Amino acid sequence: MPLLSDRAGKTSEVVVLPASTEDPGKAPPGLVRMGLFLAIGSMAVLFGSMVFAYYWRKSAPGVWDQVALPGMLWISTAIILASSVVFEAGRRAYGRGLHQLASRLILITAVMGLAFLGSQITAWFELIARGAYLEQNPYSAFFYLFTALHAAHLVGGLGALGFVTWSRGRRRELIDAATYYWHFLGLLWVALFFVLAH
């Protein structure tokens, strides 16, 4: 029994794909996209809950010593936003059949991702040098928690970049999913940076 592809609306010809029951070696259409939505949804709930806890603790009585954020975080923000632009260019290049250019742009994105992590670590060392430790006050704890969890998810994004770049059976759906995940990480960082700065 054939399944109608979601690309059918983008062409004048009818596009059919074999059902997964006919070819058990192939994943059903849209499985990667569904996994992406579930991953982004769970991350949004996790960070949303943490932001709620942040504002609740900030408004509660007790110690709350907000630390001036290192200037390096502005550089981090610029790096991750620029990397998102480069990754999007790579995704579009792949869609036009320019696979070699797409691979280069994805590799540049990975290097920028590593630069983002490096700038975050530099910001941590700057705060530690100022005496802002994890257990010093609730603001410091939230800062390290937010940035560490975001960095962990970004490392996962770098793993996806490596898979997309070096796998032989690359598919457009995988590149699209990796790109959208990276865009989400960029937007998430901007939101976290705004929360921590105010």
What's the pLDDT score for residue 2? 47
Written as six digits, the tokens of 144 are: 């390290």
Cα angle vertex 140, ends 66, 185, to 5°? 100
Alpha-carbon span 101 to 52, nearest angstrom: 42
Domain residue ranges of the chain, discontinuous segments joined by +: 29-197
User: CA 166 to CA 162: how far, in whole Å?
Assistant: 6
* The predicted structure's pLDDT at residue 61: 82
Query: How far apart (Å, rounded) are the C-alpha atoms in residues 59 and 3?
Result: 53
What pLDDT score was predicted for residue 185? 96
pTM of the model: 0.81
Selection from 189, 156, 165, 194 nearest residue 76 by Cα: 189
User: Under CATH, domain 29-197 is a member of which superfamily?
Assistant: Cytochrome c oxidase, subunit III, four-helix bundle (1.20.120.80)
Query: How would you write the pLDDT of the chain (198 residues) with one tens digit per residue?
Result: 444 445 555 556 655 555 444 555 555 667 778 888 999 999 999 999 999 999 999 888 877 888 888 999 999 999 999 999 999 999 999 889 898 899 899 999 999 999 999 999 999 999 888 877 767 688 888 999 999 999 999 999 999 888 887 776 557 888 889 999 999 999 999 999 999 988
Q: Which residue has the tokens 């058990």?
A: 24
CA distance 121 to 189: 15
Output the pLDDT for position 21: 46
Q: What per-residue confidence (pLDDT) applies to 59?
A: 86
pLDDT value for 106: 92
